[in-house]
């Protein structure tokens, strides 16, 4: 029986409110979870830039969907077509600068920009017509992301059904997408189909997306979630508590090297050492086939206070030096398979990546 229709995201992550000329982008403030469910309204590109930077909205696909709507915000001020196109050009580069690693961000803004350029070069439709078109394209990206999550889930579900325990890192769940997540999609579908299993959620230092977000959303769905600190993962693997590891990705190079939240690489190494399959789940929009391998992926560095003052109190001596890369790259040879909306890439190598993604 297909139970996919019963699976819904536990909360609305983002939504457009209003029309193309005066609407706003409403974002769930993920910095406040799990304590509070509160929304912020973005009325201009600057507010959205700040929200992306501060991780109010985060996770590669959700950032992409939000940035698509950001282009609609960027088009609300101009009085004529040339001014509107200039605003869009500026907004695209500006939004791209908010977070460098997740390629879904530039994928989405470029998609909306290309649509606008093509329309502006065609029969005259005026600023109002172009604004409507921007919103249509942003809505299309939003709806497509929901479908991509479901497609990934259909490929991942049979793998989850074989497991009594699954380990995941960071949040590649509903909160990171417009749908039921990437790494979590197969978990939701397997659970809805009656399979019972336990999900170990790496806490994910320093900002705790695993415990604050993944454990929270899995519990909303009634899935058995267990929070561990990142440093416990190797022990959990050696104990045989999990039969697969699955994570998301922020950018995947042509050879299958995959960037994801810092700590993913060490998890993949530990999984290999214990012969546990390590899967990456991601939509086609997370692939960057313009780069040969992971060495070309830009890695975001964040402020050291995320390490020294996480959640309100000093946990390191005042004035200490820090190094805070937000992502790392897992080499393709540690990845058992990449589960995409277009099929499963296995083994992971350039020929196979191009064969599935194009
Ligand atoms: O810094 P974040 O919270 O945006 O990092 C998110 C991740 O690393 C996710 O695993 C990735 O974006 C995939 S989300 C489906």
48-89 pLDDT per residue, tens: 999 999 999 999 999 999 999 999 999 999 999 999 999 999
Amino acid 234: pLDDT: 98
Starting at the edge strand found earlier in the chain, the sheet holding 251-253 runs 287-288, 251-253, 258-261, 327-330
Residue where a domain stops, chosen among 147, 166, 189: 147
Q: Are residues 137 and 163 in the same domain?
A: no
Q: Are residues 206 and 329 in the same domain?
A: yes
Residue where a domain stops, chosen among 121, 147, 173: 147
Residue 11 lies in a domain: yes
In tens, the pLDDT along 196-212 reads: 999 999 999 999 999 99
Q: Are residues 307 and 195 in the same domain?
A: yes
Q: How would you write 169-221 as a 3-class SS string?
A: CCCCCHHHCCCCCCCCHHHHHHHHCCCCCEEEEECCCCCCHHHHHHHHHHHHC
How remote is the CA of residue 168 from the centroid of ligand 1, in Å? 12
Q: Is the Cβ atom of 170 under 6 angstroms away from ligand 1?
A: yes
Ligand 1 site-directed mutation target among 260, 264, 267, 303, most atoms within 8 Å of CB: 260
Full-model pTM: 0.97
Return the closest-CA partner of residue 349 out of 253, 245, 247.
Answer: 253
Residue where a domain stops, chosen among 147, 178, 195: 147
Q: Are residues 198 and 284 in the same domain?
A: yes
Residue 347 lies in a domain: yes
Q: Are residues 344 and 226 in the same domain?
A: yes
CATH label of the domain that carries residue 257: 3.40.50.10470
Return the closest-CA partner of residue 73 out of 21, 126, 18, 14.
Answer: 21
Domain tally for the chain? 2
Q: Are residues 135 and 204 in the same domain?
A: no
Amino acid 95: pLDDT: 98
How remote is the CA of residue 201 from the centroid of ligand 1, in Å? 14
CATH label of the domain that carries residue 82: 1.20.120.420
Its domain, for residue 187, covers 157-357
Residue 331 lies in a domain: yes
Q: Are residues 273 and 352 in the same domain?
A: yes
In tens, the pLDDT along 268-319 reads: 999 999 999 999 999 999 999 999 999 999 999 999 999 999 888 999 999 9
Q: Is the Cβ atom of 58 under 6 angstroms away from ligand 1?
A: yes
Q: Which residues have C-beta within 8 Å of that of residue 166, sequence separation ≥ 6?
A: 160, 187, 197, 198, 199, 200, 242, 243, 244, 245, 246
Q: Is the Cβ atom of 61 under 6 angstroms away from ligand 1?
A: yes
- Residues known to be catalytic: 250
What long-range pairs does 118-121 form, CB within 8 A, spacing at least 24? 120/81, 120/85
Q: Are residues 20 and 120 in the same domain?
A: yes
Q: Are residues 230 and 122 in the same domain?
A: no
What long-range pairs does 78-83 form, CB within 8 A, spacing at least 24? 78/127, 79/127, 80/127, 81/120, 81/126, 81/127, 81/130
Q: Are residues 77 and 171 in the same domain?
A: no
Return the closest-CA partner of residue 275 out of 249, 248, 244.
Answer: 244
Q: Are residues 161 and 138 in the same domain?
A: no
- CB 183 within 8 Å of CB 200: no
Q: Are residues 185 and 88 in the same domain?
A: no
């Amino acid at each position: 029986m297909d139970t996919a229709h019963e699976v819904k995201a536990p909360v609305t992550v983002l939504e457009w409110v209003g029309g193309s000329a005066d609407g706003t982008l409403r974002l769930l403030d993920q910095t406040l979870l799990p304590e509070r469910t509160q929304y912020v309204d973005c009325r201009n590109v600057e507010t959205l830039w700040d929200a992306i930077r501060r991780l109010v909205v985060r996770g590669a696909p959700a950032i992409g969907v939000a940035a698509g709507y950001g282009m609609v915000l960027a088009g609300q001020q101009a009085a004529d077509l040339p001014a509107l196109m200039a605003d869009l050009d500026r907004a695209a580069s500006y939004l791209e600068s908010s977070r460098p690693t997740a390629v879904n961000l530039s994928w989405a803004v470029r998609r909306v920009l290309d649509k606008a350029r093509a329309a502006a070069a065609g029969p005259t439709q005026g600023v109002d017509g172009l604004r409507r078109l921007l919103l249509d394209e942003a809505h299309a990206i939003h709806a497509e992301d929901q479908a991509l999550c479901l497609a990934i889930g259909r490929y991942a579900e049979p793998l989850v059904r074989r497991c009594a325990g699954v380990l995941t890192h960071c949040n590649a769940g509903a909160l990171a997408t417009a749908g039921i997540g990437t790494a979590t999609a197969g978990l939701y579908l397997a659970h809805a189909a009656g399979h019972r299993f336990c999900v170990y959620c790496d806490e994910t230092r320093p900002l705790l997306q695993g415990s604050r977000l993944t454990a929270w959303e899995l519990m909303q769905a009634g899935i058995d979630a267990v929070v561990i600190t990142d440093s416990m993962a190797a022990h959990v693997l050696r104990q045989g508590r999990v039969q697969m590891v699955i994570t998301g990705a922020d950018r995947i190079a042509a050879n299958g090297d995959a960037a994801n939240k810092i700590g993913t690489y060490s998890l993949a190494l530990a999984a290999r050492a214990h012969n546990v399959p390590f899967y990456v789940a991601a939509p086609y929009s997370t692939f960057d086939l313009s780069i040969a391998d992971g060495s070309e992926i830009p890695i975001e560095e964040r402020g050291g206070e995320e390490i020294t003052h996480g959640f309100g109190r000093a946990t390191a001596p005042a004035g200490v030096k820090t190094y805070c890369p937000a992502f790392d790259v897992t080499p393709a040879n540690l990845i058992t398979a990449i589960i995409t909306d277009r099929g499963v890439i296995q083994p992971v190598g350039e020929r196979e990546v191009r064969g599935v993604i194009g």
